[in-house]
Chains A and B, each alone.
Chain A
């Protein structure tokens, strides 16, 4: 409902910084780790046709659908960049943590308000959900064109490997929502996790890795390093970036 989101946009203002007009992160801090297998209090749709997309994208066209998904979007830095780079596409951020997803929702609301004349940022939205369990609830078969897994939680302990967002079983689910020819972008600063991701995705019959040349030719690639908050932190701490892009066959 239009009135609801406009109201939300105005409400977001008081906790925003007087300087930037955007929400301040210190009110939304939450620990980085979350247990994706435990039950959470999510309201999730039973099926894609039950989703009220207009509530997320007020100007959505009747035939339009979400095509880019940032899985584990954190504080939304990359999602905002994605929205700016691809104004004709609908991008969605999915984040499991309560405060963090709320921050992104407030951030998008504030951005929309600030750019009221140009109607900017109407093409990005964030939902609080468990992407490991509920992707098929939101997206039809082959709906997505791009999926992003940037700086996912490595879940270091062996017992927790099943919690990693990239594992053999989940790769089949991601392949279901991704169209043939669609791309999966993965980025991490943890080399072990990078090797794990490359190994699992290479073994999976439905994916092939892009060559370094192909990866560098993609205009999104440079943005992966800087736009997300995690990425910027890695650059500040002079850490390594490990990139792997895969095509869904």
Chain B
């Protein structure tokens, strides 16, 4: 999975063992992080043998970055790796990315999220476990298991007041759990019929509204406290990623959705709040835009919104490829600084292949283990009747 996101003024890109913090408007590289091929050299102690369900990770395994995140206060950068599975924490200011700690992970991460007060972060994995890592008092502290789903957790977030944690999984569920009493489930938002791949909060905090996207080709808005569904928007294809940005605080948002296997790569949906009836706030979709981004001719893995530009990151013939499009009409963006894309290509040239992730496994394999049995049973009953 290649990482890309925009956090003003930096465009962050990660692939292989390198993270780049770029200026989207010129050729300036703000900072970069490059991991060694063997993380034990920066202090990684592998998970104790009794804990590991597999063998010790071979040091030959290629270290590859999975998730990258900034803390809300911008002081910290966290990243997770696979190959040698670890969580690395860096101080981002005033130094340029100074390594604070490196802690082993039992399994590769599926999602990463800092707490609103930047004091801790959550790491989820493919078995559905959600761990909390301290990032302030003790950056070396081992994680605490907060809660567990029974299948891979694709996204997780905190509410701003840190009273709840919301997580979504492959079993169609969105779960709202109390915090810090994370053994106590507050509610579920049920209705999706396939994996839920992205979550985001929208509206003022007291509304308690949430938007989600799913492999069932819908975008839905919920009151997460009651579990009530407020809006269902049909999408042209299954959704595998969601990014939300605020256009008018508390009122209007833009939801960008990455599609799976569709003629358009990304869909943009403007969500507008109707607060005319204060007791029953509702949402509607006021604008839609499809961004084709030459879908089908290359493999698209991720994207980032930056002003009027959408950066789309993917691979062509197993090589990393970055392109930019206008979010107004989907046309190729011609405003990129001269030589910028080449610079990015060169920077990542040494980071190895960019093999597309196979997302077909996200979908549940539905197979019929009932019909055969029922057929045989029916025949057995008929044969018994004939024999009589």
Contact = CB atoms under 8 A, between A and B. Distances in A.
Contacts of A27: 377, 380
A132 interface: yes
A47 interface: yes
A46 interface: yes
A162 B171 contact: no
A208 interface: no
A136 interface: yes
A172 B182 CA distance: 9
B366 interface: yes
B23 interface: no
A175 B177 CA distance: 12
Interface stretch (A34-42, A218-226, A237-245): A34-42
Interface string A151-195: 000000001001000011111110110000000000000000000
Nearest to B366: A41
Interface string A1-35: 00000000001001100000000000100000000
A98 interface: yes
Nearest to A28: B377
Given A14-B384, A169-B149, A204 B183 contact: yes
B344 interface: no
Contacts of A159: 53
Contact of A137 (B129, B182, B190): B190
A contact face: mostly helix, strand, loop, or mixed: helix
A15 B148 CA distance: 43
B380 A46 contact: no
Nearest to B130: A169
A47 B373 contact: no
Main secondary structure of the interface of B (DSSP, over half): loop
A216 to B, nearest CB: 29
A102 B370 CA distance: 10
B164 to A, nearest CB: 14
B343 interface: no
A39 B183 CA distance: 26
Contacts of A169: 128-129, 147-150
B364 interface: yes
Given A99-B373, A169-B148, A172-B183, A136 B190 contact: yes
Nearest to A168: B148
Given A11-B381, A102-B377, A133-B171, A141 B128 contact: no
B73 interface: no
Contacts of A48: 190
Interface string B205-238: 0000000000000000000000000000000000
A87 interface: no
A47 B150 contact: no
Contact of B370 (A98, A176, A206): A98
B143 to A, nearest CB: 14
A58 interface: no
B142 interface: no
Contacts, number: 82
Contacts of B187: 141
Contacts of B177: 172
A171 B182 CA distance: 12
Contacts of B385: 14
Contacts of A136: 173, 188, 190
A102 B128 CA distance: 31
B381 A14 contact: yes
Interface in A203-248: 204-206
B294 interface: no
B379 to A, nearest CB: 11
Most-contacted residue by chain A among B147, B183, B385 (CB, 10 A): B183
A37 B370 contact: no
A46 B368 contact: no
A170 B188 CA distance: 14
Given A169-B128, A206-B183, A40 B384 contact: no
Contacts of A41: 366-370
B184 A206 contact: yes
Contacts of B190: 46-48, 136-137
Interface of B: 53, 127-129, 145, 147-151, 171-173, 177, 181-185, 187-188, 190-193, 364-370, 373-374, 377, 380-381, 384-385
Given A41-B370, A170-B148, 14 more contacts: A11-B381, A39-B367, A46-B192, A47-B190, A98-B373, A102-B377, A133-B151, A167-B148, A169-B128, A172-B147, A172-B182, A175-B185, A176-B185, A205-B184
Q: Closest 9 interchain pairs by CB?
A: A169-B148, A47-B190, A176-B185, A14-B381, A39-B365, A41-B368, A39-B364, A172-B183, A136-B188
27 contacts: A27-B377, A39-B364, A40-B367, A41-B367, A41-B368, A41-B369, A46-B172, A46-B190, A47-B191, A98-B373, A102-B374, A102-B377, A132-B150, A134-B171, A136-B173, A136-B190, A162-B127, A169-B128, A169-B148, A169-B149, A170-B150, A171-B183, A172-B182, A172-B185, A175-B185, A176-B185, A205-B181
Interface of A: 11, 14-15, 27, 37, 39-41, 46-48, 98-99, 102, 128, 132-134, 136-137, 141, 159, 162, 167-173, 175-176, 204-206
